[in-house]
Amino acid sequence: MNIDQLVADTIRILSMDGVQRANSGHPGMPMGMADIAEVLWTRHLLVDPTDPTWSDRDRFVLSNGHGSMLLYSLLHLSGFPLTMDDLKSFRQWGSVTPGHPERDPVRGIEMTTGPLGQGFGTAVGMAMAEAHLRAVFGPDLIDHHTYVFVGDGDLMEGISSEAASLAGRLGLAKLVCLYDDNHISIEGDTDLAFREDVPGRFAALGWHVAAVDGHDRSAVDEAITVAKADPRPSLIACRTHIAYGAPTKQDSADSHGSPLGEAEIAGAKKAMGWDLPPFEVPAEVYGLFREAMARGTEARRAWEGRRDAWLASDPARASQWAAHWDPPPIDLSDIRFERGSKMATRKASGVVINALASRTPTLIGGSADLAPSTNTMIRDSPGIQDDPAGRNIHFGVREHAMGAAVNGMAVHGGLRPFGATFFVFNDYMRPATRLAALMEAPSIFVYTHDSVFLGEDGPTHQPIEQLASLRAMPGMWVIRPADATETAEAWALAMARTEGPTCIVLTRQDLPVLERSTGGGVMRGGYVLRSGDDAVLVATGSEVALALETAELIGKRGVGLRVVSLPCWEAFFAQDDAYRALVLGEDLPRASLEAAATFGWERVVGGDGLMIGIDRFGASAPAARLAEEFGFTPAAVADRITRWLARR
């Protein structure tokens, strides 16, 4: 048997057997894409299992992540730390081979995939990072490809159109997408819902496109070679057969998400001439992959030689390189705002972004066509559409793609990316923000226009439930600063946090720069702004100034109200019990004040606490009128607290 055929059949059989043993999974896609995978991994992909995270490796993303046994089989055969026992433990408790791939760069898994389209959008971000870093350091140090497998489901999801449009505009020549065009979805033939000309769509978006028989390995090889030489991103539509080689379930939706069954597997193996027991691999297959990975090892060693020579040629280059790949801590404590002045936190954020940009070359980002409103433009830097070395990204009105692309840049390494939009539109980014948290990616999401007090645009643009929903997301840190000073500290916290994503939530309206005795409270999540021994009022964002005014007013009634600013719940609850008790008090009654849904505040104020918020949609009116109508004036808040304390 031809060795390439043997390798492809080995991938098919490992995938069939893994799914069958788990009695759960998706065998059809791995069997259909095995020939494509064999060509890519043995002839083109430059990775090194002996050093899986070297900076200039090719990136491979399995966007159609339901076919995870394809990736696990490839990684095992290639010599990454994924054993045969790991394949046998597919989808089992505690295994490193879960149902959908979860980011684990040491094992060769570049990102978490499964929600269709997210892998494609994130791969676009990886290619953006490569293009930028190549422009900064030159092709001797950064010059790799991003390969992504996609299926019909990925391309049906709207994010694929957004991300492909952005990639086409940016001319991401190092991005190669291999499309599993098998004509099958869960419900049956894709003709039920999907008739579009996919190559035509991508060609219209500025991509190089090709169409090949996905089981003709020579044609696939030639198409990848041509794609790598084209100055545009490339889509290769590979016509395949789902469950290729299965005697009765090939081209059937039945093979998509269910084990084939012992009889079907036996029939497939017989047709392939396979007589080895389950999970046994021919020695020559391992041998071919060793040769393929040796090519990557050789490429990595040659790259290290170029890097070391480049660094040695100029001492300043060592610090330049380290600033990207091993950045030092960033100190923003010298950024000062005049106390008593007024400034919207979105404007303060713009000041901080530009201060950051001057101190770290890793900061890069932009907005969904809202830079003048989100204040996210980096001065004196071009847009990457004109100069890939630039640091301003014009994402266009594409929040779905922006979120995924930010994740792609973050997991690529070498950059600290951010994406910005109005807070209410974070709903468009929900899959990407959730994946950022799941991947522990250090993505930064900047959200402005954070409450009903944005005013006349009305309830369609006024966030209510968004704070509560993001705080409910495991691993997501949400920072809502009270003023310009807290905004600088919020950015310091976000930049220091490398083990997960951070949202910085900012106001449209001006806020007073508050008096405070010490700084650094944001880094601990919350702190006391005003002392008081009778009750505690905990607030975030724009409501902190209101809380201070309320405390002054209610103090004239004989109530000593402690005011606590709690910009970041997650950082605060990460503190020890002693600090939390010092801030909130152990026996004092607690109330919360936030112009958003009250859901979740019981965690802070307790079951008998008072929660002042807005548990309905907003309204179109000037901000001052909204404050009156929703009871967010010092007098209204003081009255509510007074009545509440009287009832206790």
Q: Which amino acids are annotated catalytic?
A: 399
The two structure tokens encoding residue 492: 């310091």
Q: Which amino acid is present at 55? A: S
Give the single-character DSSP code of 465: S
What six digits make up the tokens of 55?
Answer: 């900076």
Tally Cβ neighbours within 10 Å of residue 276.
11
Give the CA angle between residues 405, 407, 409 to the nearest 5°. Answer: 70
Alpha helices in 107-157 (DSSP H): 118-137, 152-156
**Tokens 């901000």 sit at which residue?**
623
Residue 290 region by backbone torsions, left for phi larger than 0, else alpha for psi between -120 and 50, else beta: alpha
Phi then psi for residue 504, to 5 deg, are: -110, 120
CA atoms of 317 and 335, how far apart (whole Å):
28
- Reported as type and span, the H/E element at residue 583 is helix 577-584
Chain centroid to CA 243: 31
Would residue 193 be called left, alpha or beta, if left means φ above 0 and alpha means ψ between -120 and 50 degrees?
alpha
Q: Which pairing describes strands 416-422 and 610-612: parallel, antiparallel, or unpaired?
A: unpaired
Comparing CA positions, the residue from 596, 534, 608 lying closest to residue 569 is 596
CA angle 526, 529, 530 (to 5 degrees): 135
Q: Which helix (H) or strand (E) holds 225?
A: helix 217-229
Residues 6+ apart with CB under 8 A from 587: none
Task: Confirm if 494 and 330 have CB atoms less than 8 A apart.
Answer: no
- Cross-sheet strand order for the sheet of 146-151: 59-62, 146-151, 175-181, 234-239, 208-213
**Cα angle, residue 372 at apex, residues 371 and 374 outer, rounded to 5°:** 60
Q: Please enumerate in sequence order all residues whose Cβ is within 8 A of that of 3, keeping only pairs 6 or more positions apart, or say none.
A: 284, 285, 288
Closest Cα partner for 71 from 25, 117, 115?
25
Q: Are strands 477-479 and 502-505 parallel, antiparallel or unpaired?
A: parallel
Residue 297 tokens, joined: 């090892």
